[in-house]
Copies of this chain bind each other. A is one copy, B any other.
Amino acid sequence: MILTVTLNTALDVTHRVPRLLPHASHRVTGVAERPGGKGLNVARVLGALGHPVTATGFAGGPSGALVRELLAAAPGVTDALLPCADRTRRTLAVVDETTGDTTQFNEPGPQITAAEWAAFQGRYAELLTGARAVALCGSLPPGVPVGAYAVLVRAARAAGVPVLLDTGGEALRRGVAARPEIIKPNAAELAELTGSRDPLPATRDARRRGARAVVTSLGPAGLLAATPEGTWQAVPPRRLAGNPTGAGDSAVAGLLSALTEGLDWPAALTRATALSAATVHAPVAGEFDPRTYDEVRGSVKVTQL
């Protein structure tokens, strides 16, 4: 199985309103809830692709219980989340049905105790023994040390399990130094890591900081990968309209599934790019549209640089 780690899971709530007016009272016309946090999004996409996947991290309080209840309905995903005493954060997306724009409210994550973090590391070590690859995804909740991903990368390397790290800021800076197999920054995370806004030199620079391969997501412009086997850019056949939420997580799922199947980089990047595009184009934020995926993956353009 593939293991995904989401230390800062979330209950993602979407409210639809006819029109957002600041300081007014709104009747919510539609409510949707789904398990959130990058690693859970990756797990759901892997499960939907038919890859056995185990999701770990923390879940606590009523929002955490609901995350687990919703996760139980995701095909192919095994729930190995650990309880925490504080409550899982909620994210609220308010969609203005007149303009289509979204206004986002993100609660702070739960306070994780030292004992909970220690318990997590024990569970993670157990889960690694059955894992073919691991994805470490998203922000760190309060209480988890900023060097946490470096610790988890080293544990995976010691167990011989390839690890993909998808985070930003100081957690990425520390994590990359522990030599993960792949990092997948977006343009902003890459610029923060390297100090450069020029994607190609910055992607190459990020590799020198410790990652075996760096795959940078460039939004509608696709993916840029610097690897020991070469450097490639993968571009979707056309710009798809929609919601970019979760597109990066689908790219991670594409890369990880390809990695465990032994595909080469052009094939892996094709899959990741197509899944990303199919997520932007899906009617529900964070899901991928299987028809778009099937249609797009035959025509992703991969160029060696």
Provide the residues of chain B in CB contact with A103, threshold 8 Å: 21-26
- The residue that A26 contacts in the complex, of B29, B99, B105, with Cβ under 8 A, is B105
Q: A70-104, CB under 8 A of B: which get 1 and which 0?
A: 00000000000000000000001010100101111
Nearest Cβ on chain B to A8's Cβ, whole angstroms = 13
- The residue that A62 contacts in the complex, of B25, B27, B66, B105, with Cβ under 8 A, is B66
Chain A residues bordering chain B, tally (CB within 8 A):
30
Residue of A17, A21, A94 ringed by the most chain B CB atoms within 10 A: A94
Task: Report the copy number of this chain in the oligomer.
Answer: 2
- A108 within 8 Å of B (CB atoms): yes
In chain A between 98 and 132, which residues have their CB closer than 8 angstroms to a CB of chain B? Answer: 99, 101-108
**Known contacts A28-B107, A28-B108, A105-B17; A22 and B62 CB within 8 A of each other:** no
- A31 within 8 Å of B (CB atoms): yes
- A15 within 8 Å of B (CB atoms): yes
**Known contacts A20-B22, A62-B66, A65-B62; A94 and B102 CB within 8 A of each other:** no
Nearest Cβ on chain B to A14's Cβ, whole angstroms = 11
